[in-house]
C-alpha cells in the first residue's frame, strides 16, 4: 500500500468533466471519452505489482466462441492498493464526476464488481463485439456507464487488443482504441453500445492485455432506451460467421418453468394447460 493513500481531488475532477462533457455527448458511434494519463503513474505501478498472475486460481476463465479471457472480481483476491483504488472509483467524488461528464444523474456503483474487477487477456484471447446486459437483477438497477482503465506498459500497435466501438447496425467500426498504460475509457451502456476486442491478441507469449473494469447503474433509464431485460448480446462483424443468440430473460425463464411443469404434471394435464395458454394468447387475455 502506498505511504500516502490516493484520493481524487473533486475540483480537478470537475474541471476534467467540464472539459470533456460536450465531446462525450457528441462522440460516435455512442457517447464515450478517452482520457490519457488519468492517474498518478506510481499508483498504477503499485497496482501492477498486485495484478494477479495468469496462473492464479482466483481468475474465472472464459473460453468459448464469444470470449477467451480471465476475470477476477472477488475483493479477497485483490491487493490492498487495488481495493483502495476501486473504492475511490466508487466514491462520491468520482460518481459526481461521472454524472457531470455523462449527463446521467443518480448513478450507483456496484460494490460486488459483477463482471468487473481485473481482466486479463493472454495471447490468442479475444472478446467478440457485444452490448452488455442491461438489467442488474441483484440490485434491480439499469446498467448505464462502463469504465475501463488500461494497464499495459509499452503496448505496441501490432499486439492488437484495440477496443472497437461499432455502429448500431454493425456495419462500421467507428473507433479503435489502443489499450495503453494509464488510458481511461468511459462510455454509456445501452442496447446499441456495441464494443469489444474481437481479433485474437498477437502479443508475445510473456505479455497480456490487462485492465480494471467497473460499471455504474441507475434506478430507471430514459424511455427511448428501455427494453426487455437481456443478458450480454454478441454480434458478428461483417463477414464473420460467429454469432451467439441470446434469448431475453423472460423467455429463458418461461422455457425453464415449462420444463419443470412438464416433468411434474401428467401429460394430459400439461397438454390441457398448454391449450388454455394458447387460447388466452390468441384472445389477448382473460376478462
What's the topology of domain 10-234?
Jelly Rolls (2.60.120)
- The 10 Å Cβ neighbour count of residue 109 is 22
R_g over Cα of the chain: 22
DSSP class per residue in 77-144 = GS-HHHHHHHHHHTSHHHHHHHHHHH---S-EE-TT-TT-EEEEEETT-EEEEEE---EETTTTEEEE
The pLDDT tens digits for 149-163 are 999 999 999 999 999
- The 10 Å Cβ neighbour count of residue 164 is 18
Cα(164)–Cα(148) distance, rounded to whole angstroms?
Answer: 13
Of 261 and 100, the one with more pLDDT: 100
**Average of pLDDT values for 207-224?**
98
Bridge-based pairing of strands 108-109 and 194-197 is unpaired
**Average of pLDDT values for 88-109?**
98
pLDDT value of residue 242: 64
**Average of pLDDT values for 112-139?**
96
The SS3 call for residue 76 is: helix
The pLDDT tens digits for 64-79 are 999 999 999 999 999 9
Minimal CA–CA distance to 190: which of 218, 153, 157? 218
Give me 43's grid cell.
Answer: 499508483
The pLDDT tens digits for 20-47 are 999 999 999 999 999 999 999 999 999 9
Cα(280)–Cα(61) distance, rounded to whole angstroms?
Answer: 44
pLDDT value of residue 4: 83
Cα(94)–Cα(88) distance, rounded to whole angstroms?
Answer: 7
The pLDDT tens digits for 48-61 are 999 999 999 999 99
277 pLDDT tier (thresholds 50, 70, 90): very low
Cα(243)–Cα(233) distance, rounded to whole angstroms?
Answer: 9
The pLDDT tens digits for 145-204 are 999 999 999 999 999 999 999 999 999 999 999 999 999 999 999 999 999 999 999 999
pLDDT value of residue 287: 37
pLDDT value of residue 273: 58
pLDDT value of residue 263: 53
The pLDDT tens digits for 242-256 are 655 444 444 444 544
Q: Among all chains, which residue has been given the C-alpha cell 510473456?
A: 206
- State percent of the chain over pLDDT 70: 83
Q: Model-level pTM?
A: 0.85
Question: With 70 as the cut, is the pLDDT of residue 117 above it?
Answer: yes
Burial of 224 (0-12, 13-18, 19+ CB in 10 A): exposed
CA dihedral 116, 118, 121, 127 (to 10 degrees): 10
Average pLDDT of the chain is 89
pLDDT value of residue 241: 79
pLDDT value of residue 278: 44
Q: Where are the beta strands (DSSP E) in 153-272?
A: 163-166, 173-177, 183-188, 194-197, 208-218, 233-234
Amino acid at each position: 500500500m502506498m505511504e500516502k493513500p490516493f484520493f481524487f481531488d473533486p475540483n480537478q475532477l470537475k474541471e476534467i468533466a467540464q472539459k470533456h462533457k460536450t465531446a462525450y455527448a457528441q462522440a460516435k458511434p455512442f457517447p464515450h471519452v478517452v482520457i490519457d494519463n488519468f492517474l498518478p503513474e506510481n499508483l498504477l505501478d503499485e497496482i501492477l505489482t498486485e495484478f494477479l498472475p495468469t496462473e492464479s486460481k482466483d481468475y474465472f476463465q472464459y473460453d468459448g466462441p464469444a470470449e477467451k479471457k480471465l476475470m477476477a472480481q472477488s475483493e479477497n483476491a485483490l491487493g490492498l492498493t487495488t481495493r483502495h483504488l476501486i473504492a475511490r472509483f466508487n466514491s462520491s467524488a468520482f460518481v459526481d464526476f461521472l454524472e457531470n461528464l455523462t449527463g446521467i444523474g443518480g448513478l450507483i456503483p456496484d460494490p460486488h464488481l459483477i463482471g468487473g474487477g481485473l481482466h486479463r487477456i493472454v495471447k490468442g484471447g479475444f472478446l467478440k463485439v457485444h452490448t452488455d446486459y442491461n438489467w442488474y437483477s441483484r440490485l434491480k438497477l439499469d446498467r448505464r456507464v462502463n469504465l475501463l482503465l488500461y494497464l499495459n506498459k509499452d503496448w505496441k500497435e501490432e499486439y492488437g487488443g484495440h477496443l472497437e466501438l461499432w455502429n448500431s447496425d454493425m456495419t462500421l467500426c467507428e473507433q479503435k482504441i489502443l489499450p495503453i498504460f494509464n488510458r481511461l475509457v468511459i462510455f454509456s451502456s445501452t442496447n446499441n453500445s456495441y464494443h469489444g476486442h474481437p481479433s485474437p491478441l498477437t502479443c508475445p507469449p510473456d505479455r497480456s492485455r490487462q485492465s480494471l473494469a467497473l460499471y455504474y447503474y441507475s434506478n430507471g433509464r430514459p424511455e427511448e432506451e428501455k427494453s426487455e431485460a437481456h443478458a450480454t448480446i454478441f454480434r458478428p462483424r461483417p463477414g464473420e460467421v460467429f454469432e451467439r443468440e441470446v434469448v431475453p430473460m423472460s423467455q429463458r425463464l418461461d422455457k425453464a418453468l415449462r420444463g419443470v411443469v412438464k416433468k411434474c404434471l401428467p401429460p394430459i394435464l400439461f397438454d390441457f394447460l398448454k391449450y388454455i395458454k394458447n387460447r388466452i394468447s390468441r384472445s389477448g387475455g382473460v376478462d
